[in-house]
Structure 1
Amino acid sequence: MKFTRKANANWKGSGMEGTGAISTQSTTLNNAQLSFKTRFAEGVGTNPEELIAAAHSGCFTMQLSFLLNEEGFVADDLATEATVTFEDGTITLIHLELKGKVPSITAEKFAEIATKAKEICPISKLLKTQITLSVNLL
């Protein structure tokens, strides 16, 4: 399967005082505000690191669901929080915190499948940083 997806960004002004917007092909993001404040402080809008966290948590969780299905399991609930650490101009770490409810699976098997999902998820493979995982079977 091959497909493409698009997003675009627009910026006006200087790095510190300027403002921008990000939009996605699906229009889920439609001129979402981007600024120095939304990236490096707190403010209404988004930032690249938050978008990477969203993409990574979504990709990993979907990949995990597929791998569970291949092993004969269907999750009642999978929830992943991705925390992106930005330090001195580099993303140095992404931590995935997984909580899952999967009938009839052992904690060991769940962790094994989750680890495989972390390794083969397309976003994990794209990112050149340390990726850690904690797993909690509910």
Structure 2
Amino acid sequence: MATQKHHFSSQINWSGGRNSIGQLNTGTIHSAISVPSSMSGPGEGTNPDEMLLGAASTCYTITLAALLERNSIVIRDFKVQSEGVVDVTDGIFNYESITHHLYLKLGENANAHEMDLARRLAEKAETSCMISKAIKNNVLVSADIHIEK
């Protein structure tokens, strides 16, 4: 079996202490970064909490899209709204959970088997996504699945 590796890189320019504002540059992301205002920071640009949530959400979405496509499930509408919860106890920040709220509308002619398969694939996507696997046992990741035709 052939092995293929993909490399990604980022660069951060940062000056100062905790409440400074930096600049993040990756392949396509160019953003100011700082501690969010809800955590007593300047709230400029994005932050690690939003970026982890975005990574988990996009990974779940793309993984599910690939699974649905491979199984020839016709989709009329596909939305994922994700929520991350960070707990702060005694000044210690802990990314507690991520919940993906999936709203999926199948083709008008979808049968019971396709509806069940779509649900099973939505559950599988949450455990198959490489970001979910990377944070497993540290952050509780779940999917709240709503499927209709």
With normalisation by structure 1, the TM-score equals 0.84
Task: Classify the secondary structure of the residue corresponding to 1:36.
Answer: coil
Moved more, 112-121 or 62-71: 62-71
In structure 1, the partner of 2:25 is 23
Q: CA deviation at 1:37?
A: 4.0
Q: CA RMSD in A?
A: 2.0
Matched residues, number: 134
CA contact (8 A) 2:73 2:118 kept: no
Kindly indicate whether residue 134 of structure 2 is the aligned counterpart of residue 132 of structure 1: no
Instruction: Identify which of 2, 5, 9 aligns with 2:5.
Output: 2
Moved more, 37-46 or 85-94: 37-46
Kindly indicate whether residue 12 of structure 2 is the aligned counterpart of residue 13 of structure 1: no
Pick closer, same or farther for the CA change 1:105–1:57 going to 2, 3 Å. Answer: farther
CA contact (8 A) 2:21 2:44 kept: no
Higher radius of gyration, 1 or 2: 2
Gaps of 5+ in 2: none
Moved more, 80-89 or 56-65: 80-89
Q: CA deviation at 1:73?
A: 1.0
Kindly indicate whether residue 64 of structure 2 is the aligned counterpart of residue 64 of structure 1: yes
Identity of aligned residues (%): 24
Gaps of 5+ in 1: none
| C-alpha distance in 1 between matches for 2:144 and 2:5 | 31
CA contact (8 A) 1:38 1:47 kept: no
**1:9-67 deviations in Å (ceiling 9; x for gaps):** 22211113x221111112xx22x112234572573410111111111111111110111
| C-alpha distance in 2 between matches for 1:22 and 1:54 | 15
| C-alpha distance in 2 between matches for 1:56 and 1:121 | 8
Pick closer, same or farther for the CA change 1:70–1:36 going to 2, 3 Å. Answer: closer
